[in-house]
Structure 1
Amino acid sequence: MRKISWWLTVSVGLGILLNPLNSSMISVAIPRLQDVFHINFTKVSWVIFSFYIASAVAQPVMGKASDLFGRKKIFLTGLLVSFVVSLAAPLSSSFEWLIVFRILQSIGTSMMIAVGMAIVRVQISDKQGAALSLLSIFLSGAAAVGPFIGGILIYWWNWQAIFLINCPIVVVSFLLSWRLIPADESSASSGSRLSVPQWLRMIDVPGILLFAFGLVTILVGWLSFKSNGHFSWIHALGILTVLMLLLVFIRHELRTPSPFIPLRTFANYPAMKWIHIGFMLVNILYYSLFFGLPSYLQMVRHVSEVDTGMLMLSLGISSLLTSPLAGYWIDRSGPRPVLFLSSVFMTIGSVYITTLHSSSSLVSVCVPLIAYGMSNGLNSVGMQAALFQSSPKQLIGVASGLFNSSRYLGTILSSLLISIVMGREFNIEGFRILGIILTMISIMLVVISRYGIRLDVSQEN
């Protein structure tokens, strides 16, 4: 990779790491936020869910906005929003204000996630696999070390520090991006000629509201059921509401000229469909382990928070070591072999989870962590490369946004899966059942990576 391409990738990487970093650092701040704002676990969990829901909605919208207004403008605007929010969030006078800032933080970081990959896709033509592997290091590394960094910041300072730490990263990324990202093409300014009603129709506000309201309804219903401990007519009504919203959403998306989720595009480019489905399954698997294994260590094995964090580093380290190898392999053989091997590693890790018990050695716990970490390193590069090869250039912004929405849908579903399996208390029996479910999902992923992903659109499109 040329030197200018390397620095361009670094400038983009510093921006896109803010989203996974802030989505993972907050996990260790939950007990502190409960004490500060005097709230229960059900309510404080919205500091996580609000970020994921806003990310799932904002990233496709920002991908579409970048195709209209220009990728550099959206990227730099996202950095400015992130900087302001990082300064304002520590001043939150109530938990409700903190949720508002978390949503704004999610929107700002989503601007960079949605267009960062597209910038690399368009601006770097030589050794694109190596560039993607470098971006993957920023993404997977930030998610992996986020809880460790957050724990240190909260231990030595307070919860406000997990927001303030963003400021120097934003400043460096902004200065590099302002200088290195090429100016937007003149055609990108077409969005400025749209009226407000035209812009609202372009981003499909009804589709966004149906999508977001459906997610919120699912989460509120499940958290309510979890708190009450019994199924009532209200929960049944919630299920019917979700099903109706799903039908209305599908009908609307098929009929609107500019859909939030382009279902017809998936029909025209089936490889894109399978890549998004596969990426969602990957994140269900990854985040089920990411959130589930620390609970197993602390609640079943009674391992300290510090030792748990040290063990979890094996997940991030193995991912970081594998990503560069994936980039070189993709440059020579394409993404499909990488994706197949990744799904095999996840299957091995999932099967191993089913063998863990209350007296398993702590060293053995690193086996599924390393298997999943290696899989994540391969997947994070391979899925992005497959997305680029399956998406026509005129749709790359939308495709990148939807791609990352699949990430957050998988994350939300992983949290729901753990809650459904475990019920009120985390236990070894439920953890083994979770391992069985993850094994079945990983086998599905093996089939998809082997037979579902057919890269029928070339990069030259």
Structure 2
Amino acid sequence: MRYGPGDAPGGSGGGRRPGRGKWWPLVAITLGNFMLLVDVTIVNTALPRIADGLGASFTSLQWVMDGYALALAALLMVAGSAADLYGRRRLYVGGLALFALASLACGLAPDAQLLVAARIVQGVGAAAMFATNTPLLMAAYQGRDRGVAFGVWGGTSGAAAAVGPVLGGVLTEWTDWRAIFLVNLPLTAVAVWLTLRHLGESRGHVGARIDWPGGASFTVCAGALTYGLMRGGEHGWTENGTLTALALAALALLVFVVAERRTAHPLLDLRLLRRPSFAVLMLAALLMQAAAFPYLTFVGLWAQDVLGLSPIGAGLAVTPMALMSLLVGLLGGRALQRLAPRLPLGVGVLLIGAGDLLHVVLLGDGAGWPALVPGLAVGGLGVGAAMPVLVSAALGAAPPQRAGMASGAVNTFRQLGFAFGIAVLGTVFGTALRDAGATGGRTALAAGYLSGLRDITLISGLVAVATGLLVLAVVRRAPRTDGERPSGAPEVRRVRTGAPAGA
């Protein structure tokens, strides 16, 4: 997305409507953002009940998680361009409406296939909501109010990571798993009403265009690659369907590169990737997200299927990561912002890796949920240090006139990291379960769960450690050219808080 004349007072639509309560626009935007981020993880603790209720296979459960994250990631940059062209408020309201309808379809789904399809549509709505959050806040607030607004918005984004699994457990245990989707209906109605009543319209640059070839090829590439990774784990890597999906992903990637080089209004200016710091930060966004959060989905399955925890207990078991992340933000946020972004980012990713590797050591035979706490706590320290500075690091590595594009790209790669992480780690975890199932018996199945968890946390830990070292070695501030604002100058840094702390 690009920030244009509509982001300033007196721009297209004028931002906040005069005479209204000053903070109601913030409530409207934050409520939608909170819902879309909670829905990334609220499903975690409901997966065993969904499997029982719909007879869903392990692969279907992967798609329940991945369909949402994949649609959100693949369409985020297209949604930003559409918002610039057609209006941020209009697209935000449309995204809320689509999100609500898809949530209703999820709650009424009679089988796993329709649930997955509804989750994908829900992700489309979430992309429209997520892409418009930051520019709507930029248009609604200026000066000190803008800093307060982004602080509140970023704080609730981080809280979503903590609330998601617990809220999912509460709704699943006290009512039914379908309630985790139906609860969105009254909340979206409130968000739509507040938006129409208190938010003015804003648009981006005059002459903005949507890069449809780039958006379509990027979406096909991401979807085909995810499908190929899941199918390869289930049916084999030389199976015809697997090879076809992976070949389609490669072809779509080639089309995307050609399309972006030829258009005057690309989703992603590929010249940015010639900057080593920017390229590494995009890779870090993808791999950090893949290492930090997707394995928690399979931890939730183990906690309920093997340890016998309730959905609420399974949600509470994984909260140490989110709580430590919030604690770092509250106590060390200001100190972190005084450092060069590569330091908290690189060290934070190393801590995420250390937390993952602690699971490998502590999840031995007979382990219970307390064995998770040390690794989750250390990983939470890393998340709290790294996530808040990720966007500011990307902005500092790109020219100021590409700030909107850099912000959209880093959030896209983050969500792709979650989607790819579910696909890859789910393949490894599913293989361990199938091997244990072939042996037979409850004891063998429990051992298969633990073996799968150790495998996926080992992979996550090694990836995170390598990523952290790469960030520390490569990432530097972008050189300033004449007439450009220095990277990290106040006007750019105000956008920084738009990076949610959680998944």
Give the TM bin, normalised by the shorter chain: 0.7 to 0.9
* Structure 2 residue aligned with 1:319: 325
Instruction: Check if 1:453 corresponds to 2:460.
Output: no
- Confirm or deny: 8 A CA contact 1:281 1:445 kept in the other structure: yes
Q: CA deviation at 1:59?
A: 0.8
Matched, 1:432 2:454: yes
Letter in 1 for 2:67: S
* Whole-angstrom distance in 1 between the partners of 2:63 and 2:370: 34
1:382 equivalent to 2:382? Answer no
Is 1:282 the counterpart of 2:299? The answer is no
> What SS does the aligned partner of 2:361 have?
coil
Alignment coverage as a number of residue pairs: 446
Structure 2's unaligned 5+ residue stretches are 1-20, 434-447, 479-486, 493-503
Residue of 38, 59, 63 corresponding to 1:42 = 59
Q: Once the two structures are superposed, what CA deviation does each residue of 1:6-48 show, in whole Å capped at 9, x if it has no partner?
A: 7655543222122221122223343444455454333354332
In 1, Cα distance between the equivalents of 2:356 and 2:55?
Answer: 37
- 1:442 partner SS: helix
Using the TM superposition, name which of 16-25 and 317-326 deviates more: 317-326
Aligned residue for 1:184, secondary structure, equals: coil
**Residues 51 and 106 in structure 1, CA contact (< 8 A), matched pair in contact too:** yes
| Contact 2:28–2:191 under 8 Å retained in 1 | yes
Say if 1:223 and 1:86 are closer, same or farther in 2 by CA, change over 3 A: closer
Q: Distance in 2 between matches of 1:18 and 1:435?
A: 28
Which aligned pairs between 1:45-444 and structure 2 lie closer than 5 A? Answer: 45-87=62-104, 89-92=106-109, 95-120=112-137, 123-126=141-144, 132-178=150-196, 181=199, 183-184=201-202, 190=207, 202-228=209-235, 231-267=238-274, 270-298=276-304, 303=309, 305-333=311-339, 335-356=341-362, 357-360=364-367, 362-392=369-399, 394-422=401-429, 423-425=431-433, 426-444=448-466
| Cα deviation 1:158-211 (Å, max 9, x = unaligned) | 3332222123433444455456656426x65656xxxxxxxxxx4333333332
Query: What letter corresponds to residue 352 of structure 2 in structure 1?
Result: M
Residues 97-141 of structure 1 deviation map (CA, whole Å, 9 limit, x = unaligned): 444432332122222212223444564554977755533332232
Structure 1 residues 313 and 50: CA distance shift in structure 2, 3 A: same
- TM-score, length of structure 1 as denominator length: 0.83
Contact 2:230–2:427 (CA<8 Å) still a contact in 1?
A: no
Aligned-pair distance for 1:5? 8.2
Alpha-carbon distance, 1:302 to partner: 5.6
C-alpha RMSD over aligned residues: 3.3
- Give the TM-score normalised by the residue count of structure 2: 0.77
Residue in structure 1 matched with residue 11 of structure 2 by the alignment: none
Letter in 2 for 1:149: L
The percent identity for this pair of structures is 25
Structure 1 residue matching 2:213: 3-state secondary structure: helix
**2-structure distance, mates of 1:84, 1:420:** 31
Deviates more, 1:228-237 or 1:376-385: 228-237
Inter-CA distance 448–147: structure 2 relative to 1 (3 Å threshold): same
Distance across 2 between alignment mates of 1:386 and 1:91: 42
Using the alignment, how far apart are the partners of 1:285 and 1:101 within structure 2? 27
Moved more, 161-170 or 386-395: 386-395
Q: 8 Å contact 1:329–1:338 — kept in the other structure?
A: no
Whose helix fraction is larger, Structure 1's or Structure 2's?
A: 1
